[in-house]
Amino acid sequence: MLKGIEFRASKLVIALALMAAGGAALFSLSRGQFRVAGSDLTSLGLLLGGLVLYVGVLVIVGMFRNETYLSIALLLPSMLAVAIFVYGFIGWSVRVSLSQWTGLIPDFTWVGLKQYTDLIQGDQRFAIDVRNTAVFTVGFIAGCLVIGLALAILLDQRLKGEAIFRGIFLFPMSISFIASGVVWAWLMNPATGDRITGINLIFQKLHLDFLISQWHSTPQPWGMAFTVIPAVWQLSGFTMALYLGGMRSISEDLREAARVDGASEFQIYRHIIMPLLQPVTLSAVIILGHMSLKIFDLIVALGRKDLRLDVPGIYMWTTTFDGTKYAQGAAIGVLMLISVAVLVVPYLIYSMRTEAEL
């Protein structure tokens, strides 16, 4: 017998049976429907079939009593899934974006960079999208950083009720962009005169009429700037938590030493704490920046596909699935990916390097 193999006929039979059952389920379900009592169980059956097949494979690998094999067998499904669903699909998208596929039937005729040059040079809607994304990104990052830092400094004073305030500033993060967009669309209702409502109504009641605003219906590009408000509402608390975490990790001795040297509290923040928080700011800018380059559902719920508030994510969605311009949609997706990668890849490399040094 081979060394290192723990062979047991019963185990082998079980493994083969599992693999056969799982394989048969996958094979038959991928071709036809499976209905029980009127409900379609095809997808569920497919998933379970795959799982059963995999358990069978694991049992066989387990018999070899080799930990490297077992590790590979355990990691492989995840790694394969990421390889296909992230990198494989990106490659496929790139290929689609270099084709002229329009309509429901795939057409991979090579047209080179035509989709990209059309978007960048002649497409007015895409030009608006780029401008809107720029306005949103700048406003969103600036708003989150300023408010987040202000809140963190306020909470850093170790006042009573700190936990309650922290909870209040953070809770919007747990709400979906869709729900947030729906609510804020009502708060930022641009109606005037008899139909005035939402925050504008509050301004009117407080006799602050000069603050009454058309919100995101303001002529562009400034209307886009108002879409930042719900986004900042949701993520300034997160920024605050990042800053507060950074402040709390600065040792009290350092502040004490500065006080002994006669520094005021303001000077301590300005000259000691802020410089030490620069890495936190960098993380926050990267995280918030990549979110705003991808912003999609918030604008869908807030702007209801209003073209003046269009962003690349929405353009990609509508041109692909409503307009069946697959090649153009893929090109927009790839451009979004490139913009995010430029921001995130250096940060990932940096994070991995610093971790490796630890």
* Residues from 30 through 89 that contact other proteins (CB under 8 A): 30, 40, 42-44, 46-47, 67, 70-71, 74-75, 78-79, 81-82, 85-89
Torsion of CA 120, 125, 127, 128, to 10 degrees: -160
The amino acid at residue 62 is G
Site size toward other proteins, by CB under 8 A: 106
Contacts of 100 (CB under 8 A, 6+ apart): 107, 109, 111, 114, 327
Indicate whether 142 belongs to the interface with other proteins (CB under 8 A).
Answer: no
Please, what is the minimum distance in Å from the beta carbon of residue 34 to other proteins?
10
Q: Please report how close the Cβ of residue 358 comes to other proteins at its closest, in angstroms.
A: 10
Which structure tokens are listed for 298?
A: 């918030």
Which residues are within 8 A (CB) of 250 and not within 5 positions of it... i.e. 6 or more apart? 272, 273, 276
Among 14, 170, 212, 307, binds other proteins (CB under 8 A): 170
Minimum distance from residue 295 beta carbon to other proteins (Å): 10
Q: How many CB atoms lie within 10 A of CB 246?
A: 20
Short-list 347, 348, 330, CA closest to 91? 330
7: contact with other proteins by CB under 8 A: no
**Residues of this chain, 93-112, that bind other proteins according to CB under 8 A:** 93, 96, 106
Q: Other CB atoms closer than 10 Å to residue 168's CB: what's the count?
A: 12
Looking at residue 11, what DSSP letter applies? H
With CB under 8 A as the contact rule, the residue among 173, 212, 250, 258 that binds other proteins is 173
SS3 of 176, please? coil
Q: Rule CB under 8 A: say whether 271 interacts with other proteins.
A: no
d(CA 269, CA 255): 9
Closest to other proteins by CB, 189 or 224: 189
Position among 154, 250, 263, 272 found at the interface with other proteins (CB under 8 A): 154
Interface residues for other proteins in 335-354 (CB under 8 A)? Answer: 336-337, 340-341, 344-345, 347-349, 351-352
219/269 with CB nearer other proteins: 269
- Say whether residue 296 binds other proteins (CB under 8 A): yes
Would you say 106 or 219 has its CB closer to other proteins?
A: 106
Looking at the DSSP assignment, which residues form a beta bridge with residue 65? none
- Is 278 one of the binding residues for other proteins (CB under 8 A)? no
Site for other proteins in 109-138 (CB under 8 A): none
What is the four-CA torsion angle of 61, 67, 72, 75, rounded to 10 degrees? 100
As given in the structure block, the two tokens for residue 297 are 């559902």
At its nearest, how many Å lie between other proteins and the CB of residue 183?
5
Instruction: Tell which positions 186-245 bind other proteins, by CB under 8 A.
Output: 186-187, 191, 194-198, 201-202, 205, 233, 237-238, 241-242, 245
Burial letters for 189-216: b for 16+ Cβ neighbours within 10 Å, e otherwise? bbeeeeeeebbbeebeeeeeeeebbbbb
Q: Is 22 in the site for other proteins (CB under 8 A)?
A: no
CB of 172 to other proteins, least distance (A): 7
The distance of closest approach from Cβ of residue 227 to other proteins in the complex, given in angstroms and rounded to an integer, is 15
Sign of CA dihedral 267, 271, 275, 276: negative
Q: In terms of CB distance, is 47 or 142 closer to other proteins?
A: 47
Tell me how far apart the alpha carbons of residues 50 and 152 are, in angstroms, rounded to a whole number: 48
